[in-house]
Amino acid sequence: MTLPTKQLDPLDNPRMRKIIDDTIAEYGDQNGALMVVLNHIQERIGFITKAMQAYIAKNLNVPVSKVHGVVSFYSFFTTEPRGKHVVKFCIGTACYVGGVSQLIDKAKQVLGVEPGQTTPDGLITLEVCRCVGACSQAPVVVVDDTNRGRVKPSQFGKILTDIQKSEAAA
């Protein structure tokens, strides 16, 4: 579930609070409970705010620094809602050498947001990721789980505007 960018913390929303409490009640006693709980909450709510991290830490009786460490380490977790579309830049070695930073610059220029941020209309989230295994196609951009290889900065603006146009036409 992905929600609008401006909203109350899910802990202040009774329905979402119940999802969090039910998840902790169901999986909190398992081995590796922290990862299981975080995965379920990320999937069902779409993000895990700092306040949610502190709440989960308290209820699982683990240090909040540990929860924060897990959320920060794995790119699957986010602290804010993702946009309707996610554009990921591979920053593995081949893509880095292949010029992915120029694509990131182009995205910043076109959208006005950086990796880790979502456009104010909630349409596109930019992220970076590790090697996606398509190094021969570097630089690689992953648009909604589809790899686009050998992307040039001159083509990249069109990828973004195509997303925007497809939404405007929908």
Provide the binding-site residues for ligand FES, judged by CB under 6 A: 90, 92-95, 131-135, 138, 140
* Closer residue to ligand FES (CB): 19 or 142: 142
Cβ-based nearer residue to ligand FES, 111 or 140:
140
Considering beta carbons, is residue 150 or 158 the nearer one to ligand FES?
150
CB of 91 to ligand FES, least distance (A): 7
CB of 162 vs ligand FES, minimal distance in Å: 22
- In DSSP notation, 23-73 reads HHHHHTTSTTHHHHHHHHHHHHHS---HHHHHHHHHHHT--HHHHHHHHHH
**Least distance from C-beta 78 to ligand FES, angstroms?**
21
**Shorter beta-carbon distance to ligand FES: residue 3 or 94:** 94
Rounded CA separation 41/35 (Å): 10
> Nearer to ligand FES by C-beta: 36 or 135?
135
The strand order across the sheet containing 85-90 reads 124-129, 85-90, 141-143, 146-148
- Residue with nearest beta carbon to ligand FES: 92
Tell me the three state secondary structure of residue 74.
coil
Taking the complex as a whole, how short is the minimal distance between the CB of residue 96 and ligand FES, in angstroms? 7
DSSP per position, 81-141: ---SEEEEEE-SHHHHHTTHHHHHHHHHHHHS--TT-B-TTS-EEEEEES--S-GGG-S-E
Shortest Å, Cβ 137 to ligand FES:
7
